């Protein structure tokens, strides 16, 4: 599975191991026997599951050169939210061959169905997506409401697991950047974070954005922090993204709405309004973006809260020396 999240994908054998320990079979020796796994391969799978924070080896066990040689040792689920939810899912729906559902591209496609992401066809081919989806629908895991696919309500445990596992993955990625990073917004496998200006962020997928990019357009702000956007699929940040990300720092905050308005006013002729409005839907910012466009068009008519008065805005226009782009 060649994706940026390959580290977090499951193999069929990993799921089979987890199904074994949902019951009373926790002994490594018994698991090896039941699944006919060589000791070296079992060590490999256990390491992968430990990296995912799903399993742990019973305390007191001693490893030898990284191998699980002690036949009396046992494997248990960790007390993490995604691990416990997965255990509950495998236990309640033990009749389903989850090794065919959650392994390989399966979990990736389930993530896409869960969030309704428009990037489904960017991740896999349409044929692959529909092949997996038909299998999921045959099992009753996924339903088609006529407009889009969704996780069947009867499998709310699967939805809970996908949510918790996604949160775990994002937190792990963010912690690799900085232990002090603050998550400002998160959806699907995208997030907005705030870090100290002294933090050097060179990790793949992170791009400086929002108020940290206003200086690129001649709007000089003084701040002791930087804002970064993380995406597993987006490779660049455009003008419209910067406006939207500025609003995401704190929804409904007049200060950030004003910064967004300053950039919108300055670069209005360069803004792709169709793209801006389309992405606003994804970020649940449609009402605010429409209100901001109307605010500039009418020179001050406010529809809803979260915007400055026209006079307050003009003060900021003069303070930051904002002139409309020609």
Domains and CATH numbers, the chain: 6-59+73-157 (1.10.10), 182-319 (no CATH)
Residue 321 has pLDDT above 60, yes or no: yes
- Indicate whether 202 pLDDT > 70: yes
Report pLDDT for 125.
83
The DSSP code sequence of 52-120 is TT-EEEPTT---BTTB---TT-BEEE-SSHHHHHHHHHHHHTTTS-GGGTSBTHHHHHHHHHHHT-TTH
The mean pLDDT value for 33-39 works out to 91
Going by pLDDT thresholds of 50, 70 and 90, the confidence category of residue 20 is very high
Would the pTM count as exceeding 0.85? no
Question: Over the stretch 256-293, which tens digit does the pLDDT of each residue have?
Answer: 999 999 999 999 999 999 999 999 999 999 999 999 99
* Token representation of residue 16: 């089979």
Q: Which pLDDT tens digit goes with each residue over 37-79?
A: 999 999 999 999 999 999 998 864 444 445 544 447 889 999 9
- Give me the pLDDT at residue 70, please: 45
Q: Residue 189: what pLDDT?
A: 87
Residues 307, 291: Cα–Cα separation, whole Å: 8
Residue 207 has pLDDT above 80, yes or no: yes
Q: With bands split at pLDDT 50, 70 and 90, how would you rate the model's confidence at 325? A: low
**Rounded average pLDDT over 154-163:** 97
**Angle, CA 25 vertex, CA 20 and CA 30 arms, to 5°:** 95
Q: From residue 202, how far is each of 179, 183, 235 by CA, in Å?
A: 15, 17, 13
Q: Which residues pair with 196 in a beta bridge?
A: 225
């Amino acid at each position: 599975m060649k994706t940026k999240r390959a580290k977090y994908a499951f193999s069929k054998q990993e799921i089979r191991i987890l199904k074994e320990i949902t019951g009373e079979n926790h002994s490594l020796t018994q698991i090896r026997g039941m699944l006919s796994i060589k000791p070296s391969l079992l060590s490999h799978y256990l390491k992968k599951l430990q990296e995912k924070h799903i399993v742990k080896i019973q305390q007191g066990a001693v490893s030898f050169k990284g191998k699980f040689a002690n036949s009396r040792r046992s494997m248990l689920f960790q007390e993490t939210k995604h691990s416990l939810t997965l255990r509950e899912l495998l236990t309640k729906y033990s009749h389903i061959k989850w090794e065919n559902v959650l392994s390989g591209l399966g979990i990736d496609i389930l993530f896409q169905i869960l969030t309704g992401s428009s990037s489904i066809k960017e991740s896999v081919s349409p044929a692959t997506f529909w092949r997996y989806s038909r299998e999921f629908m045959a099992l009753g895991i996924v339903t088609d409401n006529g407009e889009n696919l969704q996780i069947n309500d009867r499998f709310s445990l699967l939805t809970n697991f996908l949510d918790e596992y996604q949160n775990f993955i994002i937190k792990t990625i963010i912690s690799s950047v900085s232990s002090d990073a603050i998550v400002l917004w998160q959806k699907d496998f995208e997030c907005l974070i705030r870090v100290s200006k002294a933090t050097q962020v060179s990790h793949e997928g992170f791009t400086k954005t929002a108020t940290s990019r206003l200086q690129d357009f001649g709007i000089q702000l003084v701040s002791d922090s930087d804002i970064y956007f993380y995406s597993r699929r987006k490779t660049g940040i455009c003008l419209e993204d910067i406006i939207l990300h500025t609003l995401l720092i704190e929804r409904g905050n007049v200060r950030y709405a004003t910064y967004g308005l300053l950039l919108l006013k300055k670069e209005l002729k360069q803004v792709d309004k169709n793209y801006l409005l389309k992405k606003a839907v994804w970020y649940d910012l449609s009402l605010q973006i429409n209100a901001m466009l109307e605010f500039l068009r009418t020179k001050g008519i406010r529809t809803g809260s979260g915007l400055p008065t026209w006079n307050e805005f003009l003060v900021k226009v003069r303070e930051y020396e904002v002139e409309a782009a020609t």
